[in-house]
Amino acid sequence: MGAKTGLLVYADGEVPGLLRSVGAAGNLDRTVTMMRRLYPGWEIAQCKGSNLRDGAYPPKGTVYAASWPGVEVIGDQEVMIDAPSRLPEHLLAASAGRRLVLHATHSVVDWLAFAVWEDGRLVRSLSLSPESGIIENIGEPLPFELPYWAGDRPAGIPWPGEEEEPYALPFHPIELGEDALRVLCGFIQEGRLQPDDVDADAIELYGFRARDPYGRGPADLESKLRRAVEDMDAPRRYTLSPDGSLVERDGL
């Protein structure tokens, strides 16, 4: 599968420590209540669940989730948005007084996005890929990022079939993404495990079929907005002539 994630985690503190202390499965009633709160008006039906490692990237239309006192986890492709700062308001509002972590990766296109909010305030957001460059870069880099920005973790990977072409970014987003996942959430999907990593295979998530009857999912909304902007004609600017008529201006 490669490294693919679409995760939201709400927590009353540092996520890794909280996840190390949870039981194998959260409370189903708590989890259903959370789902109703985070997916208002959606049609929700329980289905087969998963675990934290595999459930970090559910199939389209499926949400893997669990709620424990102090920490709540949601795996959903709909949170894989290019600009994390545009996370829908009701999802952000649910983090009042808490820490909120978003982590999204897709190894097929080497895309990474992650963000951290504290009591609704965006502390850090980064989104980038070799195709699109840096899409969003808000806040100061977190300590685990510093070696990447300093050039100590170069990608060193040419484009396929173009051995002389350097990688389009100074580091590989998926490598940074795994470090971000470990520091922010306590586990990784690829690479060598460390003794204090969260056992993501042992943490069970409930499964839900989730459908918005109006098709208003976060990812769908952003996609529609992006397509609308791309389809727009170039802006036209006018100035008022002495006789009161509008005259189109050339250039800017």
pLDDT, tens digit (0-9, with 9 covering 90-100), for 105-164: 999 999 999 999 999 999 999 999 999 999 999 999 999 999 999 999 998 655 555 555
Number of domains in the chain: 1
- Order of strands, edge to edge, in the sheet holding 71-75? 43-51, 204-211, 62-68, 71-75, 4-11, 99-106, 111-118, 121-129, 133-138
C-alpha 149/C-alpha 178 separation (Å) is: 15
Predicted pLDDT at 252? 45
Tokens of 92: 């952000």
Check pLDDT > 60 for residue 232: no
Looking at residue 161, its amino acid is G
Residue 122, domain extent: 4-248
Tokens of 166: 């350097």
For the stretch 17-35, pLDDT in tens is 999 999 777 899 999 999 9
pTM, to two decimals? 0.82
| Other beta carbons within 10 Å of 225 | 11
